[in-house]
Structure 1
């Protein structure tokens, strides 16, 4: 599996590739547009070509795109539901233009309509998105920490979202910080084994293709999404070492979404992860 990180596209999408090369990453995650806007500017053919050429020359793959933070497929509000589907559809098209392999999305919040209703809304939306977008970009659902009315806190909920949809169309992105916040104890070998067994039973382990690998500043079961530097949080070095030993071969990329508290944090986290991977190998 390859190691990389989420990088900003400020100044142009190709700048993210330059930064990945500088850091020594061999995979990459980006937003296709600003994560806090519904609309993104139209990508010019020349910048798309430059981006793809740089990716190929640096042998950076897979490329992962993350959807914006505004979309909510579980909402009972019709206008937001339509806007969310349209935004994710546009991100799929944008990801295809950039040559991406995966599009990662947070499922959404039911905001009071209830778990069953929210899961049904997500399932309906995903069915339509898959049917209407033949892009070759695979959707990956990301687990959440479980704050408020978030859906996707466990793998039964995530499996319900994809019920009836061909398994080849939608896979899984595991976020370690979110899982820890949701009550999965990734600081121990036993806790990691429990997590992977639950994924296998409820969703299928071979559908796990990307891991957002982040330590947690929040405590176990706190339902807090507070990413922290690798080894410096509640999961710790030993937890990540065990995780690297136990992850299935289906995982293609490990992506850091760790904070940048001061200059050099990206380099430090990537090197720490590389050192742990080297120890395991």
Structure 2
């Protein structure tokens, strides 16, 4: 079992990070630690996602190699599924805040290029450096995913308007990646586009790296041990359950779709994010999609696609980027031969509940024509967190049934419905009896029934327990319902 760096750092609130901070290298901050976000871009984005979206496009522009223009932020937003009307596009391109933002990125990119040359030499042929993204680093029980790796350099891109407040967290994250590299990286770079600078340190001259890593691993193990106790007997029984009923899992997407499906066994359901789980970057090459679809069909691979957590079916956003993104996701899923596209119920946020449900219906109606009975939209049951809609079982099933379409079906998450106060087996049976059930997320819960907390546990070791999870597996197995563990 492993735990991600951000989960470790987020789990060490307050004084918990102090021992780690003692071991990080001393750095010099830029004279101006404040940074201004591009307001024209920011104001065009959904309120609850605007900073994360600006962070994503900033990372893409800084680490990219194409020339940057005032169209570039709009192009990057489009890759994330964010579509803007022509008036807003014109406003963004005309705005001085956009021009200033572009200048900052260009200056930061040039400085980054200089720093990379110092440690890695000039790129072959004089072209751009190859910066690898979406790479996984792992040491012992700790894993992490830095923004970029180039030769012997590991880097993180951070957009912060208050660097004084954020620098300790940023440095802990960057130092953790260096430590996981176990001597593979000579240079670490913190890229700060809003401050128009990069901060570097020579990892070879960091004498306390191994102490930092040991402490990081220790903190990780403490967090793991704080989770429900491990029982080898239950684990073995649960493993037999998984094998007997062909229960699959959520799996990481490889660099290409073809590589992803080639690594999966036949006749067992698996699930992937086509892009990221916390961003809406979506780029799929036609040739890769076609090759993966052919392999999937010829080898009986069962695959589901999960939409990013940022998608809110009840969004109050003035634009329709989420609808467009979901539409593209369903189209990709259909072309791939996936068995469905999973999306969470909407959150009504500041709207009245009825308004949130109405908006969710409108968005679903807009994307349903792109689905099919073979690859439907799968509405996932809520855990009851925050302003999630359709928390009542009958309301949820009636809502899905009301579309009268085979292009929409149900994904029951056993942890979610348990957290929301329901008996998972009864919910599964009710969904099946309505002829709506397509997929079960076969998750135990570390929290009690009715807690409204989405906290998964190993099968049989949570509050649902092995007996009830076994009954769910038996029912699904007897009725040919796909199950997978997240």
* Structure-2-length-normalised TM-score: 0.46
| Coordinate RMSD, CA, aligned | 2.4
Alignment partner of 1:76: what SS?
coil
Alignment partner of 2:409: what SS?
strand
Equivalent residue number for residue 19 of structure 1? 263
Equivalent residue number for residue 48 of structure 1? 289
Instruction: State which drifts further: 30-39 or 205-214.
Output: 30-39
Distance 2:457 2:318 in 1: 36
Distance 2:429 2:248 in 1: 26
**1:16: Cα distance to partner?**
2.7
Contact 1:95 1:137 in 2 (8 A): yes
Equivalent residue number for residue 60 of structure 1? 301
Alignment partner of 1:234: what SS?
coil
Q: Which has the larger radius of gyration?
A: 2
Q: How does 1:174-253 map to 2 (within 5 A)?
A: 174-186=412-424, 192-193=425-426, 195-196=427-428, 198-199=430-431, 204-247=433-476, 251-253=480-482
Render the CA deviation track for 1:212-236: whole Å, top value 9, x for unaligned.
0011111111101111111111111
Distance 2:480 2:316 in 1: 34
Render the CA deviation track for 1:222-254: whole Å, top value 9, x for unaligned.
101111111111111111111123348655310
Higher relative contact order (CA 8 A, sep 6+): 1
Distance 2:417 2:480 in 1: 16
Alignment partner of 2:263: what SS?
helix
Contact 2:401 2:436 in 1 (8 A): no
Distance 1:59 1:151 in 2: 36
Contact 2:247 2:482 in 1 (8 A): yes
Q: Aligned pair 1:101/2:330, yes or no?
A: no
Q: Aligned pair 1:145/2:383, yes or no?
A: yes
Distance 2:480 2:447 in 1: 25
Partner of residue 409 from structure 2, selected from 149, 162, 171? 171
Q: Aligned pair 1:74/2:303, yes or no?
A: no
Contact 2:421 2:449 in 1 (8 A): yes
Equivalent residue number for residue 275 of structure 2? 33
Contact 2:400 2:409 in 1 (8 A): no
Distance 1:54 1:197 in 2: 33
Deviating beyond 6 angstroms after TM superposition, the runs of 4 or more aligned structure 1 residues are none
Distance 2:395 2:477 in 1: 21
Contact 1:177 1:227 in 2 (8 A): yes
Q: How many residues align?
A: 241
Alignment partner of 1:105: what SS?
strand
Contact 1:122 1:161 in 2 (8 A): no
